[in-house]
């Protein structure tokens, strides 16, 4: 699972050096977030029809292009997609074939323990301030408006995180960004392997992260 994540602030110069993005004119880069939750708008990176990658806001919780009812009638949960079944599931397979994206992040949260007394953990990468989850996006037309939304792919946990949760998000190596975004590349199953345990950092954090209204840098401080 990946139901919360955090992202440090990134300048346009950082984005350009990291992902070869062309910064949009007169637009500020996305603000940092320390408690991104499903139902919020977050930046994703996707290819344009012209070729270059762009940064665009999208709703976390994929709404497939064939969905025509009011959003409040959507009863299925789509903030995560299992990498093992994403190519076959009707809600995700169209996006998997045509609309892959990157989700910039600095880490994510997971909880473990008995109900009512769970301990939250922050999980990030060693010596890397930013990275990208593998994501899918789609565009639905609801009530005359376009809705851009996304999901984060998950895989089985590695040794570093298995004691907290059996699943973890698919984290991509920078060398694989182009292949993931290029939907002409159909053989991408090898990218779904868990990120190496030795490259990950796991630490306990305070309970305030459990409230989605809390969003400040102190949420990721080790307790």
User: Does residue 40 sit in helix, strand or coil?
Assistant: coil
How many CB atoms are closer than 10 A to CB 165? 16
Quote the domain boundaries for residue 188.
5-220
Q: Are strands 119-125 and 200-204 parallel, antiparallel or unpaired?
A: antiparallel
Condensed to tens digits (0 to 9), the pLDDT of residues 104-143 reads: 999 999 999 988 889 999 999 998 899 999 999 999 999 8
Condensed to tens digits (0 to 9), the pLDDT of residues 47-57 reads: 987 767 889 99
SS3 of the chain: helix, strand, coil, percent, to 5: 20, 35, 45
User: Does residue 78 sit in helix, strand or coil?
Assistant: coil
Nearest to 60 by CA among 155, 169, 178: 169
Task: Find the mean pLDDT for residues 7-22.
Answer: 84
The model's pTM is 0.96
pLDDT at site 189: 96
Rounded-to-integer distance, Cα 54 and Cα 109, Å: 26
Q: Are strands 5-7 and 33-36 parallel, antiparallel or unpaired?
A: antiparallel
Domain count along the chain:
1
Condensed to tens digits (0 to 9), the pLDDT of residues 67-114 reads: 988 888 888 899 999 999 999 999 999 999 999 999 999 999 999 998
pLDDT at site 15: 82
Nearest to 154 by CA among 194, 190, 118: 194
pLDDT at site 115: 85
Count of positions (residues) in the chain: 223
* Phi, psi for 11 (deg, rounded to 5): -80, 165
Q: CATH number for the domain including 145?
A: 3.90.1680.10
């Amino acid at each position: 699972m990946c139901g919360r994540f955090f992202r440090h602030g990134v300048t346009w110069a950082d984005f350009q050096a990291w992902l070869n993005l062309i910064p949009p004119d007169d637009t500020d880069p996305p603000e940092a977030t320390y408690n991104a939750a499903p139902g919020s708008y977050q930046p994703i990176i996707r290819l344009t029809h012209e070729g270059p990658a762009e940064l665009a806001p999208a709703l976390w919780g994929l709404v497939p292009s064939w969905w025509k009812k009011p959003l409040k009638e959507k009863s299925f949960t789509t903030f995560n997609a299992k990498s093992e079944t994403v190519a076959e599931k009707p809600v995700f397979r169209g996006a998997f074939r045509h609309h892959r994206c990157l989700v910039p992040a600095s880490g994510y949260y997971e909880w473990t323990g008995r109900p009512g007394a769970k301990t939250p953990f922050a999980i990030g990468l060693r010596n890397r301030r930013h990275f990208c989850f593998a994501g899918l996006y789609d565009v639905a037309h609801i009530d005359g408006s376009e809705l851009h939304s996304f999901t984060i792919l998950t895989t089985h946990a590695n040794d570093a995180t298995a004691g907290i949760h059996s699943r973890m998000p698919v984290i991509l190596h920078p060398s694989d960004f182009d292949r993931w975004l290029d939907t002409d590349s159909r053989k991408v199953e090898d990218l779904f392997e868990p990120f190496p345990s030795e490259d990950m950092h796991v630490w306990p954090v305070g309970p305030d992260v459990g409230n989605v209204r809390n969003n400040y840098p102190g949420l990721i401080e080790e307790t």
